[in-house]
């Protein structure tokens, strides 16, 4: 297949917005603020930024080097650089990981879309118990969440089939600025509440007494997930970068935007929650049970504002989820397209149908169909657990070793310096990080997750 008919991102801003869109996802909104609050506020943010700069960026760069060098889907990109050695299986693992994430991430993204609709029709009202019951009965319903998943899949599908520049890039250029506008509007609404400063203080007041060894592992795990490392997304998107895209600068900008969204989300959630005296939690219950209650109590006295705030918030979540969802969809689409030599449209069709089936099974496993289990977990929890705790660390670990020890140094320095046209003074630091520091730390996180240390 010709390189040119794969498509390339057309503009620098397109590269940044599309790739940052892949990275900015639900993790930024429903996990980062909570983990920050739990782990010493600004002290954690500092450690997080260090983890992103020293470790996250290095692994991002590894994936970008592989993708841009090969100009091919993730499996083929690793295969090209592996020269017949088993390293190619890391590429296949990346594709598999994204294909497994596709199902359950689609289900959650479908929930966010449903809540956009409910907030539009003014249906998000009640007491904490009502919100909880509404959410529980919605997610365990046999059909409704699957229809929302299909709707979300339809949106992603329509964007993907238009191609890299006309589809993914154009959509990101609309969705990402909108995401920032929504975040800023929501942040201002939150900060104007009485006692909002309590939330700002909680988020930003450094409390070094809460920092332990575990804090570093939390920060590193969150950084890797948030930057979409080892899911094939970065490698796939980098395969659409042109020869003059500066990898290090782009990685820095993408990581910067991702961190900014995470911090701004904290400035939406904590001031609003603490202003009405509610302690925020994390995950789906934060988004679908706790926050509707916070919005109701904080903004309920002016119904129009409550309406606007909850609609904007769920729209923000849907955009964050959709851009990430597109990036994992594209990993499988480009894989099928290039390996089966089929048209992008057909590849996308197969992936969309597969995603709906897998998502439907995940969704059903949370309702009456409680026989849909694997290793004692329902399918939804199993895929979440398996990808986050097994696939991602294994993929990231071997990617570092691959670039650090196996791939030809010349390829790496060419990719980092755009064939000698720009300076790459950090090359030695990068090599040191991916050879020694990153693999050791990823291994420690892996052991920590399984309770070994």
* Positions in the binding site for ligand PHE (CB under 6 A): 23, 25-28, 101, 105, 225-226, 228, 231, 233, 324, 327-328
Question: Taking CB positions, which residue lies at the least distance from ligand PHE?
Answer: 25
Smallest separation (angstroms) from ligand PHE to the CB of 225: 6
Smallest separation (angstroms) from ligand PHE to the CB of 445: 16
Nearer residue to ligand PHE within complex by CB, 254 or 267: 254
Nearer residue to ligand PHE within complex by CB, 9 or 299: 9
Pairing of strands 373-374, 377-378: antiparallel
* φ, ψ for residue 377, nearest 5 deg: -120, 150
Smallest separation (angstroms) from ligand PHE to the CB of 301: 33
Smallest separation (angstroms) from ligand PHE to the CB of 223: 10
Q: Answer positive or negative: Cα dihedral of 285, 289, 293, 299.
A: positive
Burial of 147 (0-12, 13-18, 19+ CB in 10 A): middle
Smallest separation (angstroms) from ligand PHE to the CB of 150: 18
Percent helix, strand, coil in the chain (nearest 5)? 75, 0, 20
Nearer residue to ligand PHE within complex by CB, 118 or 226: 226
Task: List, in order, residues 6 or more apart from 120 with CB less than 8 Å away.
Answer: 311
Does residue 425 sit in helix, strand or coil?
coil
End-to-end CA distance of the chain: 47
Nearer residue to ligand PHE within complex by CB, 63 or 296: 63
Distances (CA, A) of 127 to 132, 333, 372: 9, 43, 32
Smallest separation (angstroms) from ligand PHE to the CB of 328: 4
Nearer residue to ligand PHE within complex by CB, 222 or 310: 222
**Beta strand spans in 185-339 (E):** none
Nearer residue to ligand PHE within complex by CB, 32 or 131: 32
Distances (CA, A) of 173 to 28, 90, 120, 167, 235: 19, 31, 24, 10, 20
């Amino acid at each position: 297949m010709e390189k040119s008919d794969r498509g390339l991102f057309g503009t620098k801003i397109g590269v940044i917005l599309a790739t940052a869109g892949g990275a900015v996802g639900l993790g930024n909104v429903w996990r980062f603020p909570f983990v920050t609050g739990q782990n010493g506020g600004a002290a954690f943010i500092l450690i997080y930024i260090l983890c992103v700069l020293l470790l996250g960026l290095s692994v991002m760069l590894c994936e970008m080097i592989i993708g841009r060098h090969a100009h091919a889907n993730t499996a083929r990109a690793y295969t090209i650089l592996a020269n017949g050695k088993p390293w190619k299986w890391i590429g296949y693992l990346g594709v598999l990981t994204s294909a497994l994430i596709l199902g359950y991430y689609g289900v959650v993204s479908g929930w966010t879309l449903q809540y956009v609709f409910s907030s539009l029709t003014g249906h998000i009202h009640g007491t904490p118990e009502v919100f909880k019951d509404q959410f529980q009965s919605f997610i365990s319903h046999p059909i409704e969440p699957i229809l929302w998943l299909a709707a979300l899949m339809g949106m992603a599908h329509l964007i993907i089939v238009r191609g890299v520049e006309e589809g993914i890039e154009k959509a990101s250029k609309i969705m990402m600025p909108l995401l920032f506008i929504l975040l800023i509007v929501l942040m201002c609404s939150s900060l104007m509440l009485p006692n909002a400063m309590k939330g700002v203080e909680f988020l930003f007041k450094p409390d070094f007494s809460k920092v332990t060894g575990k804090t570093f592992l939390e920060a590193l795990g969150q950084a890797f997930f948030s930057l979409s490392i080892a899911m094939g997304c970065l490698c796939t998107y980098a395969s659409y970068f042109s020869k003059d895209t500066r990898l290090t600068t782009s990685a820095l900008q993408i990581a910067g935007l991702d961190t900014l969204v995470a911090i701004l989300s904290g400035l939406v959630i904590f001031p609003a929650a603490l202003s009405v005296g509610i302690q925020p939690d994390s995950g789906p219950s934060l988004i679908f049970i706790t926050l509707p209650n916070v919005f109701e109590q904080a903004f309920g006295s002016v119904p129009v504002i409550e309406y606007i705030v909850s609609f904007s918030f769920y729209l923000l979540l849907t955009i964050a989820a959709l851009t990430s969802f597109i990036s994992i969809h594209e990993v499988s689409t480009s894989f099928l397209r290039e390996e089966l030599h089929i048209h992008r449209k057909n590849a996308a069709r197969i992936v969309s149908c597969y995603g709906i089936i897998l998502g439907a099974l995940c969704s059903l496993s949370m309702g009456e169909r409680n026989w849909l289990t694997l290793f004692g977990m329902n399918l939804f929890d199993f895929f979440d657990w398996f990808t986050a705790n097994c696939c991602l660390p294994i993929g990231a670990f071997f990617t570092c070793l691959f670039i650090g020890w196996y791939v030809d140094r010349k390829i790496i320095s060419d990719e980092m310096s755009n064939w000698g046209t720009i300076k790459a003074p950090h090359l030695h630091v990068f090599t040191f990080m991916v050879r020694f520091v990153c693999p050791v730390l990823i291994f420690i996180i892996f052991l920590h997750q399984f309770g070994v240390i």
